Amino acid sequence: MPRLGCLLLLLSILLTGSLPAQDSQGVPGNQADTSSWRERYELGAGDVINFSLFGRPELDRPGFRIAPDGTISYLQAQNVNVAGLTIDEARIEIEKALGGHFKSPRVIITPQEVGSKRFTILGKVLQKGVVTLERPITLVEAVANAGGIETGLFERKTVELADYDRSFISRRGEHLPVDFRKLFQDGDMTQNIQLEPNDFIFIASTISNDYYVLGAVNAPGVQGMTNDASVVAAISRRGGFTDRAWTDRVLVIRGSFTEPETHVVSLRDILAAKTVDFKILPKDIIYVADRPWAEAEDILKLALSAFATSAASTWVNVNVDPILTDP
């Protein structure tokens, strides 16, 4: 059964309360990183901390939330910027600010609520949105906490509506090498990445019948599929090329993100009637670069990053805008 691995994985989590043991350094995106919040927790806007002054219990101040500009105040220490500091570093800064009012102040700071570290999960999960990272969690836990994958009926059978080949997780604008199909259908835990603040998870839809035209076109974005869909027609429907577009070649990406099938299409030959126009399939990505390139690998990363941005904005436009505009 294709879902056996995933079911065994979820059963293990329910019975043990944790994920199976694994070599975390072997998981893509889990390699040692001194900037990771798991190695160094830095305070930020939205975090709530408690203050006390050693020997002065009457000066205890619980539940101070760090302001949006990253500052916080305690007694005479006003508007101290603690964003990006560890608790010990913040304590030192507060003690410096209190030094002119107390003799050798010893400040104690304890965290009460984590609010500054978040990630986003959208697409075919039951509970979408921005989620606070209150503790280290993995990709599987994030999807499980979001209620799991959406399901629907097909030929009287319940099926998952996620397109794992087109689902992705991005970090700092870059795709991470995570194979969603291996993870969620085969139970391959080498793909179970640890999440970091500001990660973006998108579970693509298997019922989508669109394609994307991205890059140096006047109206980049998603386009509904038609029977006559081709590269030239697709670019025309999205407003044509921008002034900066390199029009000699266009890259078409097809299939999964882990093993993408790339097609280099020569617009020069098509327009000169030396070859026929390239037919588009549902879920294809057409990318027009703004500079010359020789190999598909030269711009593949840019194309996938553009898709991540477009997929997120498209989801918001379709699912959020109607709510905001509904009277």
pLDDT tens by residue, 148-166: 988 876 666 677 788 888 8
What residues pair up with 254 in beta bridges, in sequence order? Answer: 261
DSSP element (H, E) containing 179: none
Whole-number pLDDT of residue 154: 65
32-49 confidence digits (pLDDT tens): 454 677 788 889 999 999
The DSSP secondary-structure symbol of 180 reads H
The DSSP secondary-structure symbol of 277 reads P
| Residue 30 pLDDT grade (very low, low, confident, very high; cuts 50, 70, 90) | low
Q: Of 61, 64, 57, 56, whose CA–CA distance to 102 is shortest? A: 56
What residues pair up with 210 in beta bridges, in sequence order? Answer: 224
5-22 confidence digits (pLDDT tens): 444 444 444 333 444 444
Of the listed ranges 85-99, 192-206, 282-296, 313-327, the one predicted with least confidence: 313-327
Q: Where are the domains of the chain?
A: 48-113, 117-203, 210-310
66-121 confidence digits (pLDDT tens): 999 999 999 999 999 999 999 999 999 999 999 888 888 999 999 998 888 999 99
Q: What superfamily in CATH does domain 117-203 come from?
A: Outer membrane lipoprotein wza domain like (3.10.560.10)
What residues pair up with 241 in beta bridges, in sequence order? Answer: 217
Which CATH code is given to the segment(s) 48-113?
A: 3.30.1950.10
Whole-number pLDDT of residue 183: 92
Identify the sign of the CA torsion 206, 210, 215, 220.
negative
Q: By percentage, how much of the chain surpasses pLDDT 70? A: 82
Q: Is 181 helix (H, G, I), strand (E, B) or coil?
A: helix
Q: By percentage, how much of the chain surpasses pLDDT 90? A: 37
Of the listed ranges 4-13, 166-175, 248-257, 277-286, the one predicted with least confidence: 4-13
Whole-number pLDDT of residue 103: 87
The DSSP secondary-structure symbol of 89 reads H
Residue 326: pLDDT over 70:
no
> Taking all residues of the chain, what is their mean pLDDT, rounded to a whole number?
82
* 3.10.129.10, 3.10.560.10, 3.40.718.10, 3.60.15.10: CATH of 210-310: 3.10.560.10
Identical fold for domains 117-203 and 210-310, yes or no, is yes
Residue at token pair 């097809």:
254
